[in-house]
Amino acid sequence: MSTTRAEQPEVISLTTALVVDDHPLFCEALSMTLKSAIKVGKVVTAERLEEAIALIRNGLVPDVVLLDLNLPDVNGLDGLVRVKTAAAEVPIIVVSSLAENRIVNSAIQAGASGFVPKHSQRDVFLRAFSEIWSGGVYLPEGFVPVERDAAAPLSAEEDAIRRLTQLTPQQARILQCVCEGKLNKQIAFDLSIAETTVKAHVTAILRKLGVQSRTQAVLLAQNAHFAKILQDSDKVP
């Protein structure tokens, strides 16, 4: 259920919102909702994760980021982790058609300020913004928290998310390249940096992730993907 505090939340006025979604019609509808209901002055859209991160890296400072987890260049919570790292303290609201308890729970663990199912009504978005700007976390209707024993070891996806959040924006970008099967020379060319710099970053990435090889790093990153997170969903109440 939502952590909403008020039946009729106050209207919030924001300067800029960044919407990251590859469906033009949804982007258009969400932009209209943000401008009319939330009073956002400007809505910037990006179809890919790398495009969104590039906008932030080049100086865009949005008041909020609305992120779809299923994008052409990323599928899973590793995308959320990368945007969270790049955008620092900017609130990130996940807007996704996949609203299973494990996805919602993992998204919040990864740093999302709220989770709104796609195609929610306008008033749901308004309540979400009101709750988040009041210092809370917005959870979708019907959400059941995933209970876990504090003394129990982290699940594979929880552990993966914890480790991935330790990476810097550049390290996260290089890890994405590694996951795409690119060699150090290719990564250096793509990012316009020296190959020795790439090697140093890869070494640091392996150390932070607690793995011994690039293959193990890729497998750990994949633990933050939807397929891995949902594979045990039948075990969740």
- The mean predicted confidence, pLDDT, of the chain is 84
pLDDT of res. 1: 43
Predicted pLDDT at 76: 73
Predicted TM-score (pTM) of this structure:
0.73
Beta strands in the chain (DSSP E): 14-20, 40-46, 64-67, 70-71, 74-75, 92-96, 114-117
At 231, the pLDDT band (50, 70, 90 cuts) reads very low
Contact 144, 104 (CB under 8 A): no
Cβ partners under 8 Å of residue 60, min gap 6: 16, 18, 44
4-55 pLDDT per residue, tens? 444 444 556 789 999 999 999 999 999 999 999 888 999 999 999 989 999 9
C-alpha torsion sign, points 24, 25, 31, 34: negative
pLDDT grade for 211, boundaries at 50, 70 and 90: very high
Greater confidence, 228 or 78? 78
DSSP lists the bridge partners of residue 16 as 42
Whether 235 has a pLDDT exceeding 60, the answer reads: no
Q: What is the pLDDT of residues 84-115, one digit of tens each?
A: 888 888 999 999 988 888 888 888 888 899 99
